[in-house]
């Protein structure tokens, strides 16, 4: 992917000064640019603190995300020269484990990025501050309610929401318009539209446009998308029963309906060939090239699509995922935010830094580069975000939200789905047999971890 994505003259690239050195792992200190004279400090923005502030970030080591993170750190230190921000860069898939280890050792950084799953642990173990207290109720009122509600754990705001990636339908508006179709609102219409948009567009006798860029790989990308579809069919792969015990939903009508959707879509020919090797990158490219009209994904995929085909700009939009009759539409917003360690001795400085990062200006800069949806309400109302391209994802994120269970064995449960839908597509077993088999496997996993 290109380091930054142009989205029109009104959406300028976030420049990174060459002197900034980005660390992939470990510690690095980003020094503010030297000034010829002491700058005037605005203490409505800056803390009255001289010293170092530690900040653990997973976005810092990603691209293009980290370029924006580096820029707002530099901008904060330029505005508040008495504060030096020391960055601890860490890959996202290592973040939760690292935070847990640091929490046990009671040496968490002043500020760190986190989401609902770890924040639940951090809140229960009294490792993090109440962010409403840290930022002020008036400030929190400027953050989207959906995000705040999900970030509120045990009655306290465990982290300050920064951005979200709600799962929805990303679709090519030009393909839909040419066919006179609107995004599906039911699963029956989803499959029907999938078939209608599958065609030979150049008359050479070969199908070159398909309805659905299905992520059919046996990995987390495929599992997450299938499980979101299954929830909107009425199934929950792992949840709590009325007694508080873990219950599984693989051998239910909703899960079977999701398996059948995958089987029927492939059987009808409305999914590009090679679905078992089509992962997230490949499916995104299919949408980019107009080889597929729809994809179950988040708004971040817009950036991937445009990186592979800039001509697709203005031809993309989002729509909420359909839900079965009697089932509330559900999505995963995949949000990330900022928390402050309860043991930090620099909480006022930490709060000032977070407010700076969450400002409309830097929320829009981050959205400009990554297409992730800002939690800042002012940023959401900006034309950059409040557009046809993002509106469907914003709407999806305002619906019923699902948070993955915090059970340590949930990964083993979630992994069952990709093997199951691949078996359904192959067709060697009936849907009922597959559901019964994987339902039994899920029950055994719960039993083994009871």
> Is the predicted pLDDT of residue 9 greater than 90, yes or no?
no
Q: How far is CA 402 from the centre of its chain?
A: 13
Mean pLDDT for 373-396 is 88
Say if 422 falls within a structural domain.
yes
Distance CA 210, CA 201 (A): 10
> Is the predicted pLDDT of residue 228 greater than 80, yes or no?
yes
Q: DSSP code of 403?
A: -
With bands split at pLDDT 50, 70 and 90, how would you rate the model's confidence at 154? confident
Say if 195 falls within a structural domain.
yes
In this structure, the answer to whether residues 102 and 79 fall within a common structural domain is yes
* pLDDT for residue 37: 52
Q: Give the tokens for residue 242.
A: 């009325």
Residue 430 belongs to domain with CATH number: 3.40.190.10
* pLDDT for residue 6: 40
**Residue-averaged pLDDT of the chain:** 89
Mean pLDDT for 51-73 is 95
Say if 434 falls within a structural domain.
yes
Range of the domain at 191: 168-330+406-448
Bridging pattern class, strands 111-114 and 316-319: unpaired
Say if 8 falls within a structural domain.
no
Three-class DSSP category at 3:
coil
Distance CA 370, CA 63 (A): 9
In this structure, the answer to whether residues 285 and 313 fall within a common structural domain is yes
Q: Which long-range contacts (CB under 8 A, 24 or more apart) does 32-41 make?
A: 32/74, 32/77, 32/78, 32/81, 32/84, 33/74, 33/78, 35/78, 35/81, 38/81, 39/78, 39/79, 39/81, 41/79, 41/80, 41/81, 41/82
Say if 383 falls within a structural domain.
no
Strand partners, 171: 294, 317
Say if 9 falls within a structural domain.
no
* pLDDT for residue 345: 96
Better pLDDT: 69 or 390? 69
In this structure, the answer to whether residues 146 and 212 fall within a common structural domain is no
User: Are residues 246 and 237 in contact, defined by beta-carbon separation less than 8 angstroms?
Assistant: no
Q: What is the pLDDT of residues 313-342, one digit of tens each?
A: 999 999 999 999 999 888 888 899 999 999
In this structure, the answer to whether residues 423 and 301 fall within a common structural domain is yes
Residue where a domain stops, chosen among 374, 396, 429:
374
Between the alpha carbon of residue 248 and those of residues 127, 238, 255, 328, the distances in Å are: 31, 5, 11, 19
In this structure, the answer to whether residues 186 and 247 fall within a common structural domain is yes
In this structure, the answer to whether residues 140 and 227 fall within a common structural domain is no
Tell the residue number behind the tokens 């890959």, with chain if given: 91
Q: How far is CA 351 from the centre of its chain?
A: 24
Comparing C-alpha atoms, which of 2, 86, 442, 448 is closest to residue 238?
442
Residue where a domain stops, chosen among 316, 350, 374:
374
Between the alpha carbon of residue 434 and those of residues 287, 389, 419, 430, the distances in Å are: 30, 38, 10, 6
Q: Is the peptide bond before 349 cis (omega within 30 degrees of 0)?
A: no
Per the structure, the count of domains in the chain is 2
Helix pair angle (431-448, 416-426), 10° resolution: 160
In this structure, the answer to whether residues 266 and 178 fall within a common structural domain is yes
Comparing C-alpha atoms, which of 299, 290, 306 is closest to residue 2?
306
Distance CA 2, CA 305 (A): 11
> Model pTM greater than 0.85?
no
In this structure, the answer to whether residues 113 and 186 fall within a common structural domain is no
With bands split at pLDDT 50, 70 and 90, how would you rate the model's confidence at 24? very low
In this structure, the answer to whether residues 302 and 202 fall within a common structural domain is yes
In this structure, the answer to whether residues 136 and 271 fall within a common structural domain is no
Better pLDDT: 242 or 129? 129
Say if 180 falls within a structural domain.
yes
In this structure, the answer to whether residues 227 and 149 fall within a common structural domain is no
Distance CA 390, CA 163 (A): 13
Comparing C-alpha atoms, which of 405, 284, 230 is closest to residue 1?
284
In this structure, the answer to whether residues 177 and 150 fall within a common structural domain is no
* pLDDT for residue 23: 39
Say if 380 falls within a structural domain.
no
């Amino acid at each position: 992917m290109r380091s930054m994505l142009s989205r029109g003259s009104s959406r300028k690239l976030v420049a990174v000064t060459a002197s900034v050195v980005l660390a992939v792992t470990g510690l690095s200190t980003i020094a503010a640019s030297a000034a010829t004279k002491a700058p005037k400090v605005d203490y409505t923005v800056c803390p009255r603190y001289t010293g170092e502030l530690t900040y653990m970030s997973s976005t810092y080591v990603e691209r293009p995300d980290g370029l924006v993170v580096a820029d707002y750190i530099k901008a904060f230190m330029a505005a508040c020269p008495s504060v030096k921000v020391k960055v601890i860069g860490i890959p996202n898939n290592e973040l939760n484990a690292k935070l847990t280890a640091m929490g046990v050792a009671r040496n968490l950084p002043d500020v760190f990025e986190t989401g609902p799953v770890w924040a639940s642990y951090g809140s229960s173990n009294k490792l993090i501050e109440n962010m409403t207290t840290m930022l002020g109720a008036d400030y929190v009122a400027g953050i989207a309610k959906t995000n705040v509600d999900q970030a509120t754990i045990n009655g306290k705001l465990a982290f300050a929401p920064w951005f979200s990636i709600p799962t929805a339908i990303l679709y090519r508006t030009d393909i839909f318009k040419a066919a006179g179709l609107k995004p599906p609102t039911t699963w029956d219409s989803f499959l029907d539209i999938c078939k209608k948009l599958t065609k030979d567009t150049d008359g050479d006798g070969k199908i070159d446009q398909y309805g659905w860029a299905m992520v059919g790989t046996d990995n987390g990308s495929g599992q997450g998308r299938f499980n979101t579809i299954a929830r909107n069919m009425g199934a929950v792969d792992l949840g709590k029963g009325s007694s508080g015990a873990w219950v599984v939903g693989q051998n239910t009508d909703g899960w079977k309906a999701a398996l059948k959707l995958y089987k029927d879509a492939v059987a009808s020919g409305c999914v590009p060939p090679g679905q078992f090797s089509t992962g997230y990158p490949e499916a995104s490219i299919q949408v980019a090239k107009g080889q597929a009209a729809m994809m179950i994904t988040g708004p971040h995929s817009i950036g991937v699509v445009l990186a592979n085909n800039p001509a697709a700009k203005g031809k993309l939009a989002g729509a909420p995922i359909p839900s079965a009759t009697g089932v509330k539409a559900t999505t995963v917003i995949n949000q990330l935010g900022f928390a402050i360690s309860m043991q930090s001795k620099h909480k006022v400085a930490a709060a000032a830094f977070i407010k700076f990062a969450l400002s409309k200006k830097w929320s829009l800069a981050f959205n400009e580069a990554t297409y992730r949806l800002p939690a800042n309400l002012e940023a959401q109302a900006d034309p950059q975000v409040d557009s046809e391209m993002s509106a469907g994802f914003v709407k999806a994120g305002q619906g019923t939200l699902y948070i993955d269970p915090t059970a340590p064995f949930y990964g083993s449960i979630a992994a069952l789905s990709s093997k199951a839908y691949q078996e359904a597509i192959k067709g060697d077993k009936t849907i009922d047999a597959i559901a019964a088999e994987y339902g039994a496997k899920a029950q055994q996993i719960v039993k083994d971890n009871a």
